[in-house]
Amino acid sequence: MEKRMVFSDILSQFHFLRPIWLLGLLPVLIFWVYYRWKQYSLGNWKKLINPELITYLTHDNSLKSRQHESLKTYFWSLAWLLACLALAGPAWEQTPQPIHKKESAMVILLDLSPSMLAQDSKPSRLVRARFKLIDILSARKEGYTALIVYSGSAHVVSPLTEDTNTIISMVNSLEPSIMPEYGSNVEEAVDSALAIVKHGGFEKADLILITDEVASSAIPKITNVLKKEGNFRLSVLGVGTPAGAPIPLPYGGFLKDNRGGILIPKINSQDLKKLAENNQGVYQSLSHDERDINALVTLSDMPVADKTRELERTFDTWNDRGYLLIIFLLPFIISAFRRGSLVIILILPLLYPEESVSLDWNNLWQRPDQQAAKALEEGDAARAQSLFENPAWKATAAYRAGDYEDATKNFREKKGLKETDSYYNEGNSLAQSGDYEAAIEAYERALEIEPNLEDAIFNKGLLEDLLQQRDQKGTQNQNKDDNKDQDKNDSQAKNKQRVQDDESMDDRNQPNSEQGVKDDSENDTSQSSEQDSKQTQNESDAEHRQDDTSRQDDVNAMAQANEEQSQQELEQLLRSVPDDPGGLLRAKFQHQARQRANQPRRPRPPNDEQSGRY
């Protein structure tokens, strides 16, 4: 029973890894058609010619030679068939293979000082620097990348991540106005880079500094820090020209120094080159082609920042069993050795590919994960979501496709991501889907593991503020409803009091003289009047009840309208958040600056004013 099950599994999973090689069977088929036609033609001649003469006319001199010719035909046809089947790659079972991933860490430090607004490099130093930054991120195919911006203080835009597209989406919002203070504190930026590299579990990394100037006094300090840490390499991309240009102000005019003179920051290539050479890096000035980018990216691929890691997940590969058919080819190879035909057979292994691919036509050249990654890069997140098999990648694609429910489900599996990142991403998905309470709980779980996760702290605070605003609006609406209910109750009490007064007045108005009258007609008149009075009272009560019902409907409709208006305001507020990524970064950096206010800070580099850096 077990053997039948195994055999049935083999039949159900049997396929060829390289079915294109089955086209090699066509020559054999054509040859056999020709061979059978030849045999048939020879048979027709035998019907017309004497058997004793036909052997001399058809070069078929003996039965032995005919048998030898047929055997040789079958022999080489079978050899050709086995060779084509072996090259096609028969497979019916899979073997899990470990995945080795190339790891390297790169931290990019972008200068956002006001001097980057100078327009000696058209359209401006900052715009050109952002273009080069995008080129570096696009050329970064493997490894982890982080981005830090600095001016008077340094701030992390993105920690180490493999998703460079996320960083690229934030590049265009980087400008000096989002920084909480102005200056050129490159030393703090280097310290922040070392901190996030160590926090990511790396012992070595490449640092790329994009700036127009570094104070001379900061060069030995940075060099000492990097040499003390070891295995850190710093390269510099210089932005600007030696002639320089004034710094334009937002409302017109140019930035001036304390004496009223216009500041013209100039690039000092010698200092930047010295900084790079002292730290095992290279210096490149901004170019109009890709020479500068290629030099920086090529250096980052050197061994100082490279290592491989075996991932926890595995990749199932089909076992190519084509080599088993080679055993049956050995007799044919040995028999052909004398004639020198072995040379042709030896060419076949050269055509044998080193790697196998799946039978599926879509997977012929790329694995599903590779297809999904390409689809995600092209912006087709929905297709990437359907192709990805890893929960972490699938969750990322679902998040970009707007399927936050599926993204939350896959992030909760916590496969392929650190537990902290899983909780953080789960919180983002829940927040996008509108479940703010659950999102806050997810952020809290992430903060329990990593209390200093600034992004989780910021997002959690933002959601708490939104919930507080919604609760305040709900309380105000409830108070309005309570006031309306109180007014309604007062109105009902007044109506009841008015009815009772009317009844009392009717009782007092009855004539006392009629009490002693015994006349039957007068009694009938009194009874009729009493019935009319009761009917009038019932009609009045019905009208009051109808008015109360109408007022209650108005109150409910108004409460529902207020609730819908509150929900619309909340949705508008949420939609307005991602429309200004620069505003989010500005708020984040200001929050970090307030947190650092009570902490000792590194003093400002002493020669900044002399160098014109503000």
3-state secondary structure 109-169: EEECCHHHHCCCCCCCHHHHHHHHHHHHHHHCCCCEEEEEEECCCEEEEEEEECCHHHHHH
3-state secondary structure 517-582: CCCHHHHHHHHHHHHHHHHHHHHHHHHHHHHHHHHHHHHHHHHHHHHHHHHHHHHHHHHHCCCCHH
What are the distances in angstroms from CA 431 to CA 73, 399, 407?
A: 73, 11, 12
Residue 93 pLDDT greater than 60, yes or no = yes
Q: What are phi and psi of 97, to 5 degrees?
A: -120, 135
What burial letters (b/e) apply to 544-565, b meaning 16+ CB within 10 Å? beeeeeebeeebeeeeeebeee
Residue 569 pLDDT greater than 50, yes or no = yes
Provide the 10 A C-beta neighbour count for residue 274: 18
Q: Retrieve residue 455's tokens.
A: 């992004």
pLDDT band at 155 (very low <50, low <70, confident <90, very high): very high
Query: Taken in order 197, 200, 203, 208, is the CA torsion positive or negative?
Result: negative
- Model pLDDT, residue 150: 94
Cα separation, 32 vs 488, whole angstroms: 101
Residue 12 pLDDT greater than 60, yes or no = yes
pTM greater than 0.85: no
What are the distances in angstroms from CA 95 to CA 92, 254, 315, 316, 320?
A: 10, 67, 8, 5, 10
Residue 172 pLDDT greater than 70, yes or no = yes
| Dihedral, CA of residue 422, residue 426, residue 429 and residue 435, to nearest 10 | -170
Residue 116 pLDDT greater than 50, yes or no = yes
Counting Cα atoms < 13 Å in the Cβ hemisphere of 437 gives 2
Stronger pLDDT, 251 or 611, i.e. the higher one:
251
Q: Which residues contact 177 (CB under 8 A, 6 or more apart)?
A: 250, 582, 586
Characterize the bridge pairing of strands 283-285 and 90-91. unpaired
- Model pLDDT, residue 614: 42
Percentage helix, strand, coil for the chain under 3-state DSSP, each rounded to 5: 60, 10, 25
- Model pLDDT, residue 473: 64
Cα separation, 162 vs 390, whole angstroms: 15
- Let me know if domain 357-452 sits in CATH 1.25.40.10: yes
Cα separation, 559 vs 9, whole angstroms: 64
Q: Where is average pLDDT lowest: 104-118, 407-421, 474-488?
A: 474-488
pLDDT band at 570 (very low <50, low <70, confident <90, very high): low
Q: Please write the tens of the pLDDT for every residue from 383-427.
A: 877 887 777 788 888 888 778 888 888 878 766 567 777 788 888
- Model pLDDT, residue 214: 92
What are the distances in angstroms from CA 22 to CA 25, 106, 224, 255, 365?
A: 6, 47, 65, 74, 18
Q: Which residues contact 530 (CB under 8 A, 6 or more apart)?
A: none
| Residue pointed to by tokens 């092209």 | 378
Cα separation, 602 vs 233, whole angstroms: 23
CATH architecture for residues 101-309: 3-Layer(aba) Sandwich (3.40)
Q: Retrieve residue 297's tokens.
A: 């990216």
Cα separation, 455 vs 452, whole angstroms: 9
Q: Where is average pLDDT lowest: 59-73, 290-304, 560-574?
A: 59-73
Question: Bridge-partner residues for 94, per DSSP?
Answer: 318
Q: Which range among 270-274, 434-438, 542-546, 572-576 has the greatest average pLDDT?
A: 270-274
Cα separation, 203 vs 205, whole angstroms: 7
What are the distances in angstroms from CA 296 to CA 167, 207, 210, 307, 309?
A: 18, 10, 11, 18, 24
Cα separation, 305 vs 193, whole angstroms: 14
- Model pLDDT, residue 399: 81
- Model pLDDT, residue 505: 40
- Per-position DSSP letters for 373-395, written without gaps between them: HHHHHTT-HHHHHHH--SHHHHH
Provide the 10 A C-beta neighbour count for residue 505: 9
Residue 451 pLDDT greater than 70, yes or no = yes
DSSP 264: -
Q: Retrieve residue 560's tokens.
A: 């529902």
Question: Of the candidates 490, 477, 469, 479, which has an alpha carbon nearest to the alpha carbon of residue 558?
Answer: 477
Stronger pLDDT, 341 or 432, i.e. the higher one:
432
Stronger pLDDT, 178 or 302, i.e. the higher one:
178
- Model pLDDT, residue 225: 92
Cα separation, 422 vs 380, whole angstroms: 23
Cα separation, 185 vs 606, whole angstroms: 10
Residue 518 pLDDT greater than 50, yes or no = no
Q: Is 104:227 a contact under the CB 8 Å cutoff? A: no
Q: What are phi and psi of 511, to 5 degrees?
A: -70, 130
- Model pLDDT, residue 44: 57
Residue 146 pLDDT greater than 70, yes or no = yes
- Average pLDDT, integer, range 566-583: 62
Q: Please write the tens of the pLDDT for every residue from 330-369.
A: 777 666 555 555 555 555 555 555 544 444 555 556 677 7
Cα separation, 451 vs 481, whole angstroms: 42
Cα separation, 465 vs 573, whole angstroms: 11
Query: Taken in order 126, 198, 599, 595, is the CA torsion positive or negative?
Result: positive
Instruction: Please give the single-letter amino acid code of residue 282.
Output: V
- Model pLDDT, residue 555: 58
- Average pLDDT, integer, range 534-551: 55
Average pLDDT value over all residues in the chain: 73
pLDDT band at 117 (very low <50, low <70, confident <90, very high): very high
Q: Is 156:119 a contact under the CB 8 Å cutoff? A: no
Characterize the bridge pairing of strands 94-103 and 90-91. unpaired
- Model pLDDT, residue 601: 44
Residue 126 pLDDT greater than 90, yes or no = yes
| Residue pointed to by tokens 């003093």 | 603
- Average pLDDT, integer, range 150-172: 90
Residue 195 three-state SS = helix
pLDDT band at 57 (very low <50, low <70, confident <90, very high): low
Q: Please write the tens of the pLDDT for every residue from 25-55.
A: 888 888 888 777 776 665 555 566 666 666 5
What are the distances in angstroms from CA 183 to CA 114, 153, 243, 486, 601?
A: 8, 7, 21, 61, 14
- Model pLDDT, residue 536: 54
- Model pLDDT, residue 6: 62
Q: Please write the tens of the pLDDT for every residue from 184-240.
A: 899 999 999 999 998 888 888 899 999 999 998 999 999 999 988 878 899 999 999
State yes or no: cis peptide before 123, omega within 30 of 0: yes
Residue 477 pLDDT greater than 60, yes or no = no
> Domain boundaries in the chain?
12-92+322-335, 101-309, 357-452
- Model pLDDT, residue 147: 95
Cα separation, 325 vs 337, whole angstroms: 19
- Average pLDDT, integer, range 136-153: 90
- Model pLDDT, residue 513: 37
Helix 323-335 × helix 63-88 angle, to 10°: 150
